Structure 1
């Protein structure tokens, strides 16, 4: 079968898109499920209620260093959701849940066009301030307004053999909800309970995060020094 191709800003991308090197900082939060559902109702998807009345939000900063979409920073707000048609609940339901991408600011125009055109991701242009050192931190600013600042305490190393994992993400754009399969491999992982401080700004995105009960203590935070990923084509589901 011939691989599909997409032309973005004069560049031909052949699927799947390859990310050869990236790093990430992630924090997972337990949030009110009804508030999360109200936030993503437009998608037609249902949040995964892993505990009665509770859902999971994931806040993640990615630094893409070598990949088909170029080098850039990206901040994502994801809500864990059930696959379409599923009403599963409880801790085991997280095993089949996917990530609905609600916010996805980036700092480069090429990945913005690719992300919105190919996958329907909600990418917007942003500015990032990165703080390296004993603690890693960043600020994300959209249209001159602070969305979020996060500061991570260094986690403890996890000694695991890197393995490829398959996952699904969901997006909604122009009235269409899409599912995208992707695979990733993580190495150099560090993690800890809590371990992150969140500051919200005045941008409307920040107010949406506040509606979920943020800032609050994270369930867990982690970092990965070496991330490899592949992204396939999006499939329309509604």
Structure 2
């Protein structure tokens, strides 16, 4: 999988162009992915305690995730502004996603990350249930607000907070798998926080995807646009 991210502040209209690029499921690239990386140019930005080159390049990534139905009212309590509203699967029920990443080869070194995110819409004229959530799932075109983003890299921590305002904290993230499932365990200073077990699906889909990530930095709402391509994606709409 390869992706590009454009970062800008929605409410103030001030923008800066930052890119993240990554590829999942091993080192073997399809033509679309190799062409994507050829067009990416890195430049240096200052962060706490040093600097970081962006786009950050993720050359080999293993990723697994799951989405759960949750009460809309509870999800609203996680959002920083009323301009963001939970995308509802049906009235009163929204979506909370957990996505675990094992960045095995990146331009800031190998590390792991676990994203906890709410599926949202930004200032929708109408917030009808079901259709927006279904569109996101089927088309792989998402809008999400990052609620928590623990990770195992100090450099990734500083870059994520200083550039995007992501709610990151250092944590231990361990992966394990067998023939049928992939598991991810999250802990902080030896204290277990959560564990995630996901049924394996055949990762054979070659597809483009796009999504918008919202975060908050210094009281301002940030919007990060991501466009990408995957040569080996697996997914299931079945519960469990």
TM-score by length of 2: 0.70
Distance 1:86 1:126, change over 3 A: farther
How many residues are aligned here? 192
**1:101 maps to what in 2?**
146
> How far is the alpha carbon of 1:42 from its aligned partner?
5.3
Within-5 A mapping of 1:60-71: 60-71=99-110
| 1:153 equivalenced with 2:192 (yes/no) | no
Aligned-residue CA RMSD in angstroms?
2.5
Tell me the equivalent position of 2:222: 178
The 1:62–1:158 alpha-carbon spacing in structure 2 relative to 1, beyond 3 Å, is closer
SS in 2 for 1:107: coil
Contact 1:115-1:121 within 8 A present in 2 as well = yes
Q: Is the 8 A contact 1:43 1:171 kept in 2?
A: no
Please name the residue that 1:121 is paired with: 166
TM-score w.r.t. length of structure 1: 0.71
Q: In 2 relative to 1, CA 57–63 (structure 1 residues): closer, same or farther, beyond 3 Å? A: same
Give the gaps of 5 or more residues in structure 1. 196-238
Q: For 1:16-165, list aligned pairs within 5 A.
A: 16-41=55-80, 44-84=83-123, 86-94=125-133, 95=135, 98-134=143-179, 135-155=181-201, 157=202, 159-160=204-205, 162-165=206-209
The answer to which structure, 1 or 2, has the higher relative contact order (CA under 8 A, 6+ apart) is 1
Kindly indicate whether the alpha-carbon contact (under 8 Å) linking 1:50 and 1:89 is maintained by their aligned counterparts in 2. Answer: no
> 2: distance between equivalents of 1:144 and 1:104?
18
Counterparts in 2 of 1:61 and 1:3: CA distance versus 1, 3 Å? closer
1:138 is displaced (CA, Å) by 1.9
Contact 2:209–2:227 (Cα < 8 Å) also in 1: yes
Work out the CA distance in 2 between the residues paired with 1:87 and 1:11: 43
Deviation string for 1:173-225 (max 9, x for gaps)?
33222111112323333334233xxxxxxxxxxxxxxxxxxxxxxxxxxxxxx
Q: 1:48·1:97 contact (CA, 8 Å) conserved in 2?
A: no
1:166 aligns to 2:210 (yes or no): yes
